[in-house]
């Protein structure tokens, strides 16, 4: 069974994978095939946990590639906190791609916070629709992550060191700082 951590970004996906690295019966990675195309984009090994916010744009292909033996996690965080974090990264990454490629703004026409909120609403709507009637899915919220991650651990039959995995959530990996302000 493969496991996909669907998320908007800026909500703990790097930390989620750090925690999953304490699972011994699954491999795990963060955005490991994000630069690949075609069949290689979904060439994940069996019994693998992958977190990649770009998968929210590829859900049809993901479903086609993994029709069975798959489990989904919808990783979320307070939307205002996500938007604030993303707004500090308007000049690069997925938010820049969204602003310039999807919204077709050649320059900043709207406040970064507005762009971030629109991006988050779009991605969250895509994920929610995709997961709407699935029983092979769970929600993990950053605001209740230790409880939710423990539930996830049981749902997938994870083996390893749960205590060390939970300790990873005490570390801020990939946090946005003042250096990212653009």
Q: Is the pLDDT confidence value at 182 over 80?
A: no
Query: Does 18 fall in a domain?
Result: yes
Task: Judge whether 181 lies within some domain.
Answer: no
User: Looking at the domain assignment, is residue 182 inside a domain?
Assistant: no
Quick one: tokens of 121?
């609403």
Looking at residues 38-66, what average pLDDT do you find? 97
pLDDT digits 0-9 by tens, 15-42? 999 999 999 999 999 999 999 999 999 9
What is the per-residue pLDDT for 177? 64
| pLDDT of 155 higher than 90 | yes
Report how far Cα 1 is from the mean position of its chain's Cα atoms. 18
Rounded-to-integer distance, Cα 31 and Cα 148, Å: 22
Residue 177 placed within a domain: no
Beta bridge partners of 28: 49
- What range does the domain containing 91 cover? 2-172
pLDDT above 90: residue 124: yes
- How far is it, in rounded angstroms, from Cα 44 to Cα 50? 8
Q: What total of structural domains would you count in the chain?
A: 1
Is there a domain that residue 35 lies in? yes
What is the pLDDT at residue 64?
A: 97
pLDDT > 90: percent of the chain:
89
Measured between alpha carbons, how far is 162 from 150 in angstroms, rounded to an integer? Answer: 8
pTM of this structure: 0.93
């Amino acid at each position: 069974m493969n496991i996909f951590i669907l998320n908007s970004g800026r909500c703990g996906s790097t930390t989620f994978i750090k925690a999953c690295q304490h699972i011994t019966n699954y491999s795990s990675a963060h955005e490991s095939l994000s630069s690949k195309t075609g069949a290689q984009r979904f060439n994940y090994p069996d019994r693998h946990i992958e977190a990649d916010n770009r998968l929210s744009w590829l859900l049809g292909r993901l479903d086609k590639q993994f029709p069975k033996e798959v489990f989904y996690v919808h990783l979320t965080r307070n939307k205002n906190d996500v938007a604030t974090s993303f707004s500090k990264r308007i000049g690069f990454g997925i938010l820049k791609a969204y602003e310039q490629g999807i919204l077709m703004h050649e320059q900043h026409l709207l406040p970064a916070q507005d762009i971030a909120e629109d991006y988050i609403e779009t991605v969250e709507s895509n994920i929610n629709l995709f997961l709407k009637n699935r029983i092979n899915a769970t929600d993990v919220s950053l605001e209740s992550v230790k409880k939710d991650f423990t539930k996830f651990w049981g749902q997938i039959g994870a083996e390893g060191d749960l205590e060390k995995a939970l300790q990873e959530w005490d570390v801020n990996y990939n946090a946005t700082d003042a250096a990212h302000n653009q």
